[in-house]
Structure 1
């Protein structure tokens, strides 16, 4: 797929915002109608992750609209844990809301009151993110598929009890059936599967270093749990794409997994799969070639798993530039013709748009030359794909002119450090001699919350992180007299936490004093189960895990012990030849991004034309706002939803703990609602008994300086039907 480009990689111009929505006339109308009932919506639930199988995150409800959204108030609250992150996009089926607590316990609530109906705790604990569930129903049966650790359970939605006839006692183990020892497979279904008829299609999260599971896409019978088909994202011998890997890679390579979620065209029977990077993330001497089907959007026959078409967005990925979001299916108009399309957002800030049947790009894509690497043993791809349109929704290259001017001291410090780094745009291979700027960062551009689309207009709404990160490659060597604990750390932990165990707080914790914060048992449990951003490492052999725990708990001063090489459970050495110096955010001396704002944005892109309708900052830092530095934007996790009432709802921002409502036509901020913790999740909207609600999961995990805990918060308009008033926010379900 080649094309020509003008080379533009700047941000789209912010269009003037017309004064609509909450106009003077609109305010007068709202005031005049304040004593009359709101328009009654047709009851509508939210029974699919992403709103529908197409992943549009769109609702036809209009009771809450541009003219009255400013009257939203909190109507119930459900406590969901004392610590840990909740990233759940809940489901609402009929009058019941389904979600997860911070320890991945599933629950059901009365969607109108927040009263708990049941909860399901399977026995094992999990520190993994749980972003959603899958609901299936036929004329005679219904099931709710939930995840915990490496398992998918089929529950009775009415009682929360496992369905005995599904899999093994009500669950399937995703570690099995991958052609490897299941005990070695770090497999976690953090995003829910999607449905095609009576088939549940799933991906999963896996380890970021070897041994990692191969990212097979698998389909299971919803009634029995029987495996129906598998698609090998690391092709087996003689399968199409195997030539892009070294011989025999399917037996040892890992990753290329679909962790972000899927979308399905139910009419055509096509499932769209965005895949991740191959292992190792930042060095690929063991995987020479383009490495299909990593970093690819793959269209599969949903009934058989047969590949229909694919597009690879990063060849031989060395930057962890996996697809971070589920695809979004929508229909656009091009040349007077309606085209069913699939849009895929990226960490680079690109949007790729394809004809969903043929895979033909709807905007040209150019393969551009990119810099070669200089690390011995590495073979980089000479070109990478760049879409001509839409323009990137995040900045692409950090320059001196873009450095922070927040204070003279902050600017001077950022400038001095910037001049020691490389900053040459996209796809610059990491070096061992100095830090390389990655902009947008490793969590840059789009994220797992997904995009929203208005099916009536073909407009895509996507939020973006717009801050730089940096890192370099460091030889992953150990002293000759190092014991098994230190060797286990080098093999499994140093790529994230660094050779010195210092991490990149708060995203990657400092482990130098972890023994003072956690017991040995807690450290061991975290290693096996993972926590938050960290995948679990069940593949580390028990003896090596015990040595690693002792070494960490002692601050790296445990007895040397024997000098044997660290092994996985199956006996395969796992130490990488290189690690990275850390996932380092480029911050100023006070901990704010070292680049000029905006640090996070919300964007509306007309995919009929590829042009931006508007771009606005998303979020702010309360302490900076108090000093007059408003609307800086901030890092954000979780996505938007759009409604026929003309609203885009989004939480996502870390520091200000707000849910916001924007005018979908102009980007004008219409309302903010206070949250107890950050709304690092995607909200939902639904109606029960003629009343529309907006619910978002909140948690404090990403802002350690803020309050800690987790809760689901529901908002609605004041209930004026028949003169009744909504229950006060203090009437909260505690979920005990």
Structure 2
């Protein structure tokens, strides 16, 4: 039966792509890849099935485009009306003929400052109504003409160094022999969401404060040490007019009135937090204004429900990272899944996954919209969040009520135990279970396909003498836990019904970039060693793999033109590849079946 349905899907796909009057998988809505995640549901799923489990072993490179900018190539391409658009490291943009890779136009970005947060990575574009939208690491939101690449408008949303607190005179200039850097700088990494005539994007770099960056790459391209004190920034999401670039509204992550919350002793799903509530309350009077520099970066593109008029997004860690006494309370609305009104930016509901967070568990992976069937047989419009904490949470889209929590994706160890002078080993570490790479969701199977990292970190509270006449400086150092298992799995979870793990396939190297699922029964997943793998959606078995020459750190897409289906992925490595021994590159690799 499976083989028959696959063959029928291929026939329907081919017929509709050739313009015949049919409906089914692979029709117009699936031929393009018009937005990040494919559409506003963030499902990273395509109904195309010309490439399927029966023929994927024959998949070969069709063309390759080299950007000329090596490294940190994390972008998901966009394909609209035969043109493929991709952004590169440093926020350059290329428009390419999606059939051949021929360059249509390029845009070279000229940053207004070199003071940016982290590596100059960019995770993608948005294309709508003849414009290509990009949010840049130097704090700008830009619209380009989709036909020519000419700048339609260029709005400076924030200067990365604006409001930056430089290293204080009373602070040690080095920690562990490494220089202390100034507080975090704001910029953009996420692909914008375009909805209702608005371009919506949020800042990264808010949740760290004063920090030390590891030149070798640390845990994930720069280990960040949380230093006690109010040195962070305030994260925000904003909406800009798609025609003019004028700002329409801005929502700040940290709550100005009452961000301390209720000083809860457990998460909303009942896991103990091991907090010293008495110490926090004693520290509260001296830290009433901590929300002003309270962090909350926004890493990835929101999902959007046009019927409810709501957008859904995850928020990042509070500042200072991994050090909580200088920010007493629950630190609302960091570490949360939130729903905002598209038109006004007003908060409708929130679900805080980790109150008073001290481990780096940002709600980073893009939320996914789906239908969930409850235990009493009701079908509820839902939004799912795959979390760094090791579960997938499923909520009612309208109210935020928790409908289900998946089985654990990892083995937990000392979860939510605070950092200590002796060093506390906690699993997961700050890389997750599930970090920013997106999840794919196949509604027909009811399965979500998730790249899961298994590993632990040691969180150690340390101190060094301050400057003469100043108190000591306390900080939390995070390092990879020695002797603990460290590996990745591609894991399929039944989100439509039970929350149970359907299968889990262990990878040969660390997985990165996210997943793509198709109606051909396939799941594409990238590895940091350069392999792009195609798995059987039913079993997890690898049916095809290709060495792309550099680490896969962006999500693949698929599209179809002239009756031929393509798969495209960026291969450029990522910040952590230097530490792991894998190289970087600059290639967009596009695959198809032989003619």
Q: State the TM-score, normalizing by the size of structure 1.
A: 0.65
- 1:430 is the counterpart of 2:419: yes
Q: Distance in 2 between matches of 1:396 and 1:154?
A: 44
User: Do 1:659 and 1:673's aligned partners in 2 also have CA atoms closer than 8 Å?
Assistant: yes
Q: Specify the SS of the correspondent of 2:63.
A: strand
Tell me what 2:367 maps to: 327
Greater CA radius of gyration, 1 or 2?
1
User: Do 1:214 and 1:233's aligned partners in 2 also have CA atoms closer than 8 Å?
Assistant: yes
- 1:133 is the counterpart of 2:125: yes
- Aligned residue among 259, 270, 275 for 2:315: 275
- Aligned residue among 447, 451, 455 for 1:463: 451
User: Do 1:186 and 1:212's aligned partners in 2 also have CA atoms closer than 8 Å?
Assistant: no
- Aligned residue among 451, 471, 475 for 1:579: 475
- Aligned residue among 297, 318, 322 for 1:257: 297
User: Do 2:88 and 2:121's aligned partners in 1 also have CA atoms closer than 8 Å?
Assistant: no
User: Do 2:360 and 2:429's aligned partners in 1 also have CA atoms closer than 8 Å?
Assistant: no
- 1:151 is the counterpart of 2:140: yes
- 1:186 is the counterpart of 2:167: no
Structure 2 counterparts to residues 641-720 of structure 1, below 5 A: 641-651=516-526, 653-655=527-529, 657-701=530-574, 702-704=576-578, 705-719=581-595
Structure 2 counterparts to residues 357-368 of structure 1, below 5 A: 357-363=398-404
User: Do 1:447 and 1:638's aligned partners in 2 also have CA atoms closer than 8 Å?
Assistant: no
Describe the shift of the 1:642–1:120 C-alpha distance in structure 2 as closer, same or farther (beyond 3 A): same
Structure 2 counterparts to residues 205-604 of structure 1, below 5 A: 205-207=204-206, 208-210=208-210, 211-237=231-257, 248-249=288-289, 252-334=292-374, 335-363=376-404, 389-397=405-413, 425-432=414-421, 434-478=422-466, 480=468, 577-581=473-477, 583-587=478-482, 594-596=483-485, 599-604=487-492
Q: Specify the SS of the correspondent of 1:103.
A: helix
Tell me what 1:724 maps to: none
Q: Specify the SS of the correspondent of 1:252.
A: helix
- 1:379-410 Cα distance to aligned partner (Å, 9 max, x none): xxxxxxxxxx411111212xxxxxxxxxxxxx
Tell me what 1:109 maps to: 96
Describe the shift of the 1:663–1:345 C-alpha distance in structure 2 as closer, same or farther (beyond 3 A): same
- 1:206-251 Cα distance to aligned partner (Å, 9 max, x none): 14115332112211111122221222211224x7877878675377
Q: Distance in 1 between matches of 2:546 and 2:472?
A: 46
- Aligned residue among 500, 503, 509 for 1:614: 503
Describe the shift of the 1:57–1:476 C-alpha distance in structure 2 as closer, same or farther (beyond 3 A): farther
User: Do 1:144 and 1:156's aligned partners in 2 also have CA atoms closer than 8 Å?
Assistant: no
- 1:7-41 Cα distance to aligned partner (Å, 9 max, x none): xxxxxxxxxxxxx97x9x999x99xx9xx999965
Q: Specify the SS of the correspondent of 1:708.
A: coil
User: Do 1:26 and 1:67's aligned partners in 2 also have CA atoms closer than 8 Å?
Assistant: no
TM-superposed CA distance for 1:356, in Å, is 0.8
- 1:708-733 Cα distance to aligned partner (Å, 9 max, x none): 322110111112xxxxxxxxxxxxxx
- 1:174 is the counterpart of 2:153: no
Q: Distance in 2 between matches of 1:640 and 1:209?
A: 32
Tell me what 2:149 maps to: 160
Describe the shift of the 1:93–1:348 C-alpha distance in structure 2 as closer, same or farther (beyond 3 A): same
- 1:634-689 Cα distance to aligned partner (Å, 9 max, x none): 322210011111111111x212x211111112212211122111111110111122
Tell me what 2:273 maps to: none
TM-superposed CA distance for 1:181, in Å, is 9.9
Q: Specify the SS of the correspondent of 1:314.
A: coil
Q: State the TM-score, normalizing by the size of structure 2.
A: 0.80
- 1:495-526 Cα distance to aligned partner (Å, 9 max, x none): xxxxxxxxxxxxxxxxxxxxxxxxxxxxxxxx
Q: Distance in 2 between matches of 1:469 and 1:179?
A: 32
Q: Distance in 1 between matches of 2:63 and 2:69?
A: 18
- 1:93 is the counterpart of 2:80: yes
Q: Distance in 2 between matches of 1:306 and 1:220?
A: 15
Indicate the RMSD between aligned Cα atoms, in angstroms: 3.1
Please, which runs of 5 or more residues in structure 2 have no aligned partner? 19-25, 167-181, 211-230, 264-283
Larger mean CA deviation between 76-85 and 294-303 belongs to: 76-85
- 1:290-344 Cα distance to aligned partner (Å, 9 max, x none): 1100101111111111211110011111111111211111112223221111110
TM-superposed CA distance for 1:577, in Å, is 3.8
Q: Distance in 2 between matches of 1:79 and 1:298?
A: 38
TM-superposed CA distance for 1:455, in Å, is 2.3
Describe the shift of the 1:37–1:47 C-alpha distance in structure 2 as closer, same or farther (beyond 3 A): closer
Please, which runs of 5 or more residues in structure 1 have no aligned partner? 1-19, 364-388, 398-424, 482-564, 566-574, 588-593, 621-633, 720-736
User: Do 2:528 and 2:582's aligned partners in 1 also have CA atoms closer than 8 Å?
Assistant: no
Q: Which has the higher contact order (CA 8 A, sep 6+)?
A: 1
User: Do 1:311 and 1:359's aligned partners in 2 also have CA atoms closer than 8 Å?
Assistant: yes
